[in-house]
Structure 1
Amino acid sequence: MRRFFVVLLMLILIPTAVPGTALAEEPVRLFVNGSQVVPDVAPVIVSDRTLVPVRFLAEPLGFAVEWDGATGTVTLSGARVIRLAVGRPEAIVDGTVVALDVAPVNVDGRVMVPLRFVAEQMGAAVEWDPQNRVVTVTAARILPEGQVGGDLALVGNVEALGAWAEGHTTGQFRLSAVAGVLSMDYTFALDGYREGDDLLVYLTGAGPGLDYRSALAVRAGKVWRLGPGGTWVRRPEEDAAFGPDGLPGWGGDLPAEGGLFDPDTTELAGARILREERTLEGVTYDVVVVEWDQAALSPLFAEFPPTVGDASLLLTVYALPDTGGPVRVDLSMHAADATGVTVDLSGSLAVKPLEGAIPFPPEILSE
């Protein structure tokens, strides 16, 4: 969670001025997946960052390169979609704006992009040997097998999608981040549909330096993510169908069906679970309250070590006794680290039956 807010702070605080370009004193040699790549324009150094011709980096890593001369924009398409523009110190990655510490430049008709940033966004590892002036780029999967992208980490891995509530889920969340004298408020909205093994989820966010829209679709075992300009991008490594096989990785398997409302479930990742009945506006609900304290959160999030700062998370789930399925989820979280960064998150989700089919976009329905 803290990493998320660090990114937001970077979007606002990183200066946009970029010093001039200088050629490396000695040629920088580039190796991609063990083979030397010799671009037709030598790498350049800008603000101690290595920039290389984009095509010579992207294509060996399996990404298609599209150049729009009218706007000076290059789009890289593969496991994710990355868009960069000459002279602009920012990139758009799967629809999300990410700050750059150096902008792409044009050298002799070639678009030069920050090597480390672009390679790592493509899932590759980058090593720099300053003595020999050698950059080694090694391709890796953008995500571990079976996982869905970080901007929708709320869904988790594909097997865990079965735990997403059946029906139509909507939610609103407010997030407040304070770092010294700087205070920022953000709002997030979620709109999700699930029917059997099919899923469609939209997540939007707004606030200082943030205009965010992300989406995930799963249909017939195939997975798409929403790219820049509202284009849906197929995730090729996620062809396998998924099912409600539980939620692994949370200190034991939590059944997708029954789950928190199963009396035999007494703990979730070290959190305390309380059960009770509550009556709201004349309706009686089965209620499960899950409380994480600092000690319980520490094994899950490296940002919350047990002896530094404080953190707590409270999850309250309401269900109708006759159905057993959740109809409302309230969440509140507080976290503070040793540097003085404080984060508070609160909001609710509501679950209703689907009214008709999941509204998949036409390009997904046509496949």
Structure 2
Amino acid sequence: MGFKMIRCSITLILLILLLITQRGASLGLAAGDINFMLNGNKVKTLSPQPFIQDGKVLVPLRFIAEQLGAKVTWNNKDMKAYIKKDNRSVTLQIDSRLIEYDIDGKMYHICDVAPFIVEERTFVPLRIISNVLGVSIDRDNIERTIYIDTLKLSNGTPFYDLNIDTIEPRQRISGITQLQISFPEGKATDATEIKFLLLEPETRQGVVVARGTYNR
């Protein structure tokens, strides 16, 4: 699912970042234009409301998560938000694209938009909510409506759906190692450059250990 574990004196994580070529100008649509349906009932959101930018639905984290029965806590010192429901939890940090999932074991992913603050509220991509809470979320672009169904389970959708073919999960790496990726059959990408990041999960700091181009 886009992560590899490396164990040495400290635990590091290897992730992949795809650099996407933007097509056209950024598009931001009015918040009030988006409708939310939760289990067939329309949800009245608070201010500031969700909005769409670059084709991504961005939502106020606490309001949407609590509508789905999750508990959200905030660490102002580290600028981190914690979402928990049943045996699922996730840790996010403002301006960091690294997400820590804990669903039957810790997993790390890179999201396409880092959490950010609007009018003192944390906004995140809607897909994060779907992934951590395991609920089905569908989108009707014509009706500009988001449908959330808690009765339909979802295993989550990675932000970058690809595989690292040359190493195994939790494999110890030493010396020079070839890194090669592949995309699932039928999956397309607009990526023009690929970066392999080696990060320390607590500080979310690290280095680019390899980079390359993607030829379609």
For Structure 1 versus Structure 2, the TM-score category normalised by the shorter chain is 0.5 to 0.7
Q: Give the SS at the match of 2:73.
A: strand
- Of structures 1 and 2, the one with the larger relative CO (CA 8 A, separation 6+) is 2
TM-score normalised by length of structure 1: 0.37
Q: Work out which of the residue numbers 57, 60, 65 in structure 1 matches 2:64.
A: 57
Paired residues, what number?
A: 157
Note the residue ranges of structure 2 that are not aligned, 5 or more in a row. Answer: 5-13, 156-162, 174-195, 203-216
Q: Work out which of the residue numbers 166, 171, 185 in structure 1 matches 2:167.
A: 185
Alpha carbons of structure 1 residues 41 and 210: separation in structure 2 relative to 1, 3 Å: same
Q: What's the Cα RMSD here? A: 3.6
Provide Cα deviations, 1:61-81, integer angstroms capped at 9, x if missing partner.
221000112222110011301
Q: Work out which of the residue numbers 61, 77, 96 in structure 2 matches 1:88.
A: 96
Superposition pairs of residues 233-312 of structure 1, within 5 angstroms: none
Q: Work out which of the residue numbers 42, 46, 65 in structure 1 matches 2:49.
A: 42
Residue of structure 1 in register with 2:83 after alignment: 76
Q: Does 1:102 align with 2:84?
A: no
Q: Which runs of 4+ in 1 moved over 4 A?
A: 16-21, 141-144, 205-212
Which structure: greater helix fraction? 1
Q: 1:52 & 1:28 partners in 2: Cα distance?
A: 10
Q: Work out which of the residue numbers 21, 33, 41 in structure 2 matches 1:27.
A: 33
Q: 1:75 & 1:39 partners in 2: Cα distance?
A: 20
Alpha carbons of structure 1 residues 210 and 141: separation in structure 2 relative to 1, 3 Å: farther
Note the residue ranges of structure 1 that are not aligned, 5 or more in a row. Answer: 145-175, 179-183, 189-204, 213-227, 230-367
Q: Work out which of the residue numbers 12, 37, 46 in structure 1 matches 2:16.
A: 12
Residue of structure 2 in register with 1:287 after alignment: none
The code of the aligned residue for 1:90 comes to L
Larger radius of gyration: 1
Q: 1:17 & 1:65 partners in 2: Cα distance?
A: 34
Q: Work out which of the residue numbers 122, 125, 139 in structure 2 matches 1:114.
A: 125
- 2:52, 2:58 within 8 Å by CA — same for their partners in 1? yes
Q: 1:23 & 1:134 partners in 2: Cα distance?
A: 13
Q: 1:110 & 1:21 partners in 2: Cα distance?
A: 21
Q: 1:27 & 1:100 partners in 2: Cα distance?
A: 25
Q: Give the SS at the match of 1:111.
A: strand
Residue of structure 1 in register with 2:147 after alignment: 136
- 1:57, 1:119 within 8 Å by CA — same for their partners in 2? no
Identity value in percent: 25
- 2:82, 2:90 within 8 Å by CA — same for their partners in 1? yes
Q: 2:38 & 2:48 partners in 1: Cα distance?
A: 16
Superposition pairs of residues 148-227 of structure 1, within 5 angstroms: 177-178=164-165, 184-186=166-168, 188=170, 209=197
Alpha carbons of structure 1 residues 30 and 114: separation in structure 2 relative to 1, 3 Å: same
